[in-house]
Amino acid sequence: MSPLPPEPEAQSVWALGNSYAAAAHVLMHGGKANTFRPTLFLLLHALELYLKAFLFSRNVSEKELKNIRHDLVACMRACRTHNLSKLIFLPRRTIIQVVRINRYYREKELEYFTPRARRFGSLDDLAETVAKVAAAVFEPISEGTFRALSKPATLPGAQANLREKPRSPVSLNVRHQGTGS
């Protein structure tokens, strides 16, 4: 059981996903060779964390999330059950790409060498999908926090201070030094 309530837990998971997405962005735009698989893994892990952040915000238990494991398709299904589809539309080609890559991600084949040909699709398309999901998930996982922040703060003793007679403003006698022109 997490020590955090659902919204802060979701925000923490979202922030971790954001760090993986940022790392993928650095690899994609850093001009280094041989970073396709690490970048792919980082993007998929970010996607998993964003989706799980949404599920945390919907009070899905840690046990249920552990049962999903690293299966992006199961995670997307759970998100659909909790109405993520009202916040974001993913085109069929995007879903097909995630489904195709999921079998390698779920079975940890992206982390180890296996001498089999694979088709992963475009990293740019996947990065765009991850960014869309991140943006769609951000609002529902932070709405309670922002609602709380929009309320006027009530500090201890604030009511007593409001009843006091306002003091006259203090004037500061500031001498401006000219340039002597």
The predicted structure's pLDDT at residue 145: 74
Mean pLDDT score across all residues of the chain: 82
Instruction: Let me know if domain 6-142 sits in CATH 1.20.120.
Output: yes
The predicted structure's pLDDT at residue 159: 47
What separation in angstroms does the CA of 111 have from each of 124, 170, 172? 20, 66, 66
Q: Averaged over 95-111, what is the pLDDT?
A: 93
**The tokens of 46 are what?**
């970010």
The predicted structure's pLDDT at residue 41: 96
pLDDT for residue 172 is more than 50 = no
Helix H, strand E, coil C: the string for 98-138 is HHHHHHHHHCCCCCCCCCCCCCCCCHHHHHHHHHHHHHHHH
- Residue 24 contacts residue 42 (beta carbons within 8 Å): yes
pLDDT for residue 101 is more than 60 = yes
- pLDDT band for position 119 (cuts 50, 70, 90): confident
State pLDDT tens for residues 54-76.
999 999 998 999 999 999 999 99
φ, ψ dihedrals at 121, nearest 5°: 85, -175
pLDDT for residue 138 is more than 80 = yes
Least confident among 128-132, 154-158, 169-173:
169-173
Radius of gyration of the chain (CA): 24
Which range of 33-37, 89-93, 171-175 scores highest in mean pLDDT? It is 89-93
Task: Enumerate the domain spans of the chain.
Answer: 6-142
